[in-house]
Amino acid sequence: MSSKLTLAIGGVAAVLMLALAGILLIVVSGGGGDKGDSGPSASKTADDASDSGPAASGELRIRGDDPLFLDPAVIQDAGSAFYAVEIFSGLVRLDKDLQLQPDVAERWDVSPDGKTYTFYIDPKATFHDGRPVLAGDVKASWERALSPDTASVVAENFLGDIVGAKDLSRGRADAISGVRVVDDGTLEVTIDAPKQYFLYKLAYTTAFIVDTEQITANPRRWTQKPNGTGPFKLKEWKLGERLVLEAYDRHHLGAPKLKTVRVELSGGSALVAYEDGDIDVTGVGLDDLERIQDPSDALNDEYQTVQRQSVDYIGFNVNTPPFDDPKVRQAFALAVDREKIAEVILKSAIPVATGVLPPGVPGYTPTEKTYPYDPERAKQLLSESKYADNLGEITLAESGAGATVGPTTEAIIQYWKDNLGVDVQIQQAESATFFDDIDEGRYQMFHLGWIMDYPDPEDILDILFHSKSRQNSTRYSNAEVDAKLEQARTEADTEKRLALYQEIEKIVIDDAAWMPMFFDVGHVLVKPYVKNYIFPPLVIEKFRDVEVNR
């Protein structure tokens, strides 16, 4: 979510195994990185939006989970963002091809020096209660997101390029000096340097517009019925039972074709519910994958695979013994046969990660950059480390509340025991607690994942590995990496910029701050009467054009 999809989800980083769990199908994206300009903003049309048409009709039924949050300012997980992108919106949006398109801003201009953006608010844009969206609402929403009172871990990552944003988030100011309301329909935003990725950040939920008047009047309960600006309203949310989205027919980009989205939040087999006709879209779990892939199976015609821009990994807290010694981290990475786990346990359903950057993200290369399986080298490095005689107690943390761990985790800890003689304990925590503890650096080692929030390598390498980033959950610090990250932020030449990120990726992997495990491919089923249901590689708004004709 940033994608923290974690074996949990999320930063919004996100965990990989959702597709294989067969419940909520979440996607996150990564793509190009050309300098933002007024090109896509010249026209209000978008490839998946219409300005007029018949009233919304039909209901889409899916399975899912309760969102952890419905406040766009604090969302770090893909599961929450899945709903927020439908209920709320920002100045700009990403379309199904991950191209920037106008949203609440019908157009924008960029100054010759690339530092000042002038956004022109669509006069048709309204909140769900009919009140027009004004430039002041955008400014108020961003200042609320950055306020220390909101305690958003992600706000600086997405809004911190704006002049004065960090002064506000760190309590040195009470407003964003780089944001100026010219008039009700015009907003001027000044950033600290020209940056290719700035507009992409405004497509993430942290930059979305909220009704601050509603929040002030009802600060504790406003998310139960948020007054958003997105194509769908939150009609109903019964915790653990169901969540229903209803079309906002007066949306400025045109009324959605779909009337309602009904998300069943209860347990049970999603595939059974799909076969019984109770839901219209589902993921396919490992136990059923071979059957569904058989061309003779009745469901095979409804089966498809989806490439997602996400990476599953084990992170090491480099400030906590024994992982403050890089030789220990490297030994742990060398001791696990990821290829065998992917083949035997995951049935080759997803590929082994070749690095930090997932496929589809600019700068990605298929060249293997991670540590190979080499148990002898692993033993040697461990014996050379300063903890050779006393590793102490070691715990791997992951999101979950079950009495047992999954087979992938079991295999990983068995490799460590067999090859290093280390008994690793598992610590599970409920998702919200897990993310809080990750942010606070409370874990020695953790199993997580990252779904790209926007299509640029800055979204993962800068956010997770710069020593000053608030989402640097491994507490990794490398002066050379920091310098290269800062250089890449303002490098105008795309080829040179991507080369910098590739150099950074190699350093981070060599230092073994991460143990990249798998990239993500989703396995899904869609009923033939469902039209225009897309599976983008990122979490973006996608229900507007869906049609259901049972």
With b meaning 16 or more CB within 10 Å and e meaning fewer, what string describes 141-150? bbbbbbbeee
pLDDT in tens, 456-474: 999 999 999 999 998 999 9
Segment 175-187, tens digit of pLDDT: 999 999 999 999 9
Q: Does the pLDDT value for residue 160 go beyond 90?
A: yes
Specify the long-range contacts of residues 171-177, CB closer than 8 Å, at least 24 apart.
175/143, 176/139, 176/142, 176/143, 176/146
Q: Residue 276 and residue 255: Cα distance in Å, rounded?
A: 31
| pLDDT confidence of residue 53 | 57
| Interatomic CA distance for residues 205 and 154, integer angstroms | 10
Average pLDDT score, the chain: 90
Mean pLDDT of all residues in 407-426: 96
Helix (H) or strand (E) holding 449: strand 445-451
- Euclidean distance between CA atoms 220 and 356, whole angstroms: 38
- State the distance between the two ends of the chain, measured CA to CA, in whole angstroms: 33
| Element spanning 451, H or E | strand 445-451
pLDDT, one tens digit per residue, over 211-223 is 999 999 999 999 9
93-107, 326-340, 424-438, 478-492, range with the lowest pLDDT: 424-438
What amino acid is encoded at 52 in this protein? S
Q: What is the pLDDT of residue 550?
A: 87
* Contact (CB, 8 A) for 426 and 398: yes
**What pLDDT, on a 0 to 100 scale, did the predictor assign at position 19?**
31
pLDDT value at position 402? 64
SS3 (DSSP) at 6: coil
Three-class secondary structure of residue 431 per DSSP = helix
Helices (H), 318-446: 326-334, 338-340, 375-384, 407-420, 431-439
Q: What is the mean pLDDT of residues 154-172?
A: 97
Which tokens belong to 294? 């058989």
* pLDDT of amino acid 403: 58
Q: What is the pLDDT of residues 23-60, one digit of tens each?
A: 223 222 222 223 333 333 333 433 444 444 566 789 99
* pLDDT reported for residue 17: 34
Contact by Cβ (8 Å): 170, 54: no
Lowest-confidence segment of 26-35, 124-133, 353-362, 371-380 by average pLDDT: 26-35
Residue 241 backbone zone (phi > 0: left; psi -120 to 50: alpha; other: beta): alpha
At 368-414, the pLDDT tens digits run 999 999 999 999 999 999 999 899 999 999 988 665 778 999 999 99
Closest C-alpha to 460, from 418, 504, 499? 504
pLDDT band at 432 (very low <50, low <70, confident <90, very high): confident
Query: What's the pLDDT score for residue 54?
Result: 67
Q: What is the mean pLDDT of residues 6-35?
A: 30
Rounded (5°) CA angle 13-14-20:
170
11, pLDDT greater than 90: no
Which residue type does 361 have?
V
Q: Give the pairing of strands 445-451 and 394-399.
A: parallel
Q: Read off the pLDDT band of 545 (50, 70, 90).
A: very high
Q: How far is CA 109 from CA 30, 41, 47, 360, in A?
A: 24, 8, 21, 28
Integer CA distances (angstroms), 430 to 77, 400, 485, in order: 13, 5, 33
Residue with the two structure tokens 């090491």: 316
Answer whether residue 299 shows pLDDT above 70: yes
pLDDT per residue as tens digits for the range 56-70: 789 999 999 999 999
User: Do 476 and 485 contact (CB within 8 A), yes or no?
Assistant: no
pTM of the model: 0.88
In this structure, of 5-19, 164-178, 517-531, the range with the lowest mean pLDDT score is 5-19
Supply the Cα-derived Rg of the chain in whole angstroms: 23
Q: Using 50, 70 and 90 to split pLDDT, how confident is the model at 431?
A: confident
Contacts of 330 (CB under 8 A, 6+ apart): 371, 378, 381, 512
Name the β-bridge partners of 316. Answer: 445
| Region 305-317 average pLDDT | 96
| Mean of pLDDT values over 342-355 | 96
The residues, ordered by sequence, that sit 6+ positions from 462 with a Cβ below 8 Å of its Cβ are: 469, 485, 488, 489
Residue of 246, 222, 251, 228 lying closest to 236 (CA atoms): 246
The token pair at 195 is 């940056």
